[in-house]
Amino acid sequence: MPIDPLFFWAFAALTLGGALLTITLRSAVHCAIALIASLAGVAGLYLLQKAEFLFAVQIVLYIGGIMVLFLFVIMLVNLDAAARERQFHKRWWAGLAATLATGALLIYYLAKGASGLRAAPMPAQPAGNTEQLSDLLFSEYLLPFELVSLLLLVAIVGSVIMAKKRIV
């Protein structure tokens, strides 16, 4: 028996369990820790799909970068009062109805189209995943790559301006 399905179910349970805890726990720090578990599960699923570079990016950028950013903000912003109040707002039924409608739509289309989905046999990889990705990124996708660097510059300047106390 191949070992892959076992890992898939383990990582899927980690991902969904962490996600459920993220949206239900009371304290924001506990939510952040549950989110780390969920993101680690997604990283494992990337590895199962032979996307090694994305696996590394997920660990370094999401778990290492974004989560530290979240924890810093949780420290800067006083959340003690928020943790004691209601966690779901008054019109929760409207949000739940919208979520369930989206779910019904997704189930309908997945049931309709899933039978037509077949995995193409992966062509033999002449090189490592990272090497192939960089070949593609720096040739075919060079313009979007450069545009993204511009977006990051704008985001850096924007977030500094937003968090600054007084703009001189």
Partner 1 sequence: MGTITPTHYLVLSAALLLIGTAGVLLRRNVVVVLMSIELILNAVNLNLVAFGNMAGQLNGQIFAIFVITVAVAEAAVGLGILIALFRNKETVQVDEIDLLKW
In the region spanning residues 23 to 42, those forming contacts with partner 1, defined by CB under 8 A, are 23, 28, 31-32, 35, 38-39, 42
What whole-number distance in Å separates Cα of residue 139 and Cα of residue 84? Answer: 53
Kindly tell me which residue out of 5, 64, 108, 142 binds partner 1, with binding defined by CB under 8 A: 5
Residue 53 binds to partner 1 (criterion: CB under 8 A): yes
Residue 144 binds to partner 1 (criterion: CB under 8 A): yes
Residue 92 binds to partner 1 (criterion: CB under 8 A): yes
Kindly tell me which residue out of 10, 64, 75, 95 binds partner 1, with binding defined by CB under 8 A: 95
CA distances from 60 to 16, 54, 66 (A): 21, 10, 9
Residues with Cβ within 8 Å of residue 132, at least 6 apart in sequence: 125, 126
Q: How far is the CB of 168 from partner 1 (least distance, A)?
A: 16
Closest by alpha carbon to 48, among 21, 14, 19? 14
Q: How far is the CB of 158 from partner 1 (least distance, A)?
A: 5
Residue 127 binds to partner 1 (criterion: CB under 8 A): no
Give ∠ CA 103-105-106 in degrees, rounded to 5.
65
